[in-house]
Amino acid sequence: MMKIRNIMTKGVVTIDKNSGIMEAATQMISKSVSSLVVFDKNKPVAIISEHDIVKGFVSKKTKVWDIMGDEFMIVSPLTTFSEITKSLRERKIQRFPVVEDGKLIGLITETDIIQATRDFTRLHQIVQEAILTIFGLATAFFLFYFSPIGASIFASYFIRKI
């Protein structure tokens, strides 16, 4: 079973909840990210996205805590892929901070989930093609072996050997 540790994004960009919106926007631009994990006293408490910044850009004095969303869920690196996709569907959460031993170690985004799904689908296709090839070869062999031509070829081969 696929664990979150295998598909999460590492090196997550964070910001303090008391930081200004301009600092958040600048950090997103400079780090080329679309979201920041918001911290309060060394603990992740929310995620803000580009969308949140645009919505909250009323004043340069706006603080991160003024615009951060309330839909938030921390996951463990041992969380299963199915648990994440269920939360994505049911709770409409698009980003999940991954915390281990009280430390932020990664972030799971919708993009990570889509990429993992593509990888699963491709692996499934490869396995399916291999199985079909093996069954196709086995079927062709038995059809040929039990056909009149195959029977005469195999019979003449074994008669010569005796």
pTM, two decimal places: 0.66
Q: What is the pLDDT of residue 130?
A: 92
The predicted pLDDT at position 122 comes to 85
- Is the alpha carbon torsion for 140, 146, 148, 152 positive or negative? positive
- pLDDT tens for each residue of 38-94: 999 989 999 998 888 887 776 677 888 888 877 788 999 999 888 888 888 888 788
The predicted pLDDT at position 152 comes to 76
pLDDT for 158: 64
Which pLDDT band, with edges at 50, 70 and 90, does 6 fall under? confident
Helix axes 148-161, 110-145, angle to 10 degrees: 70
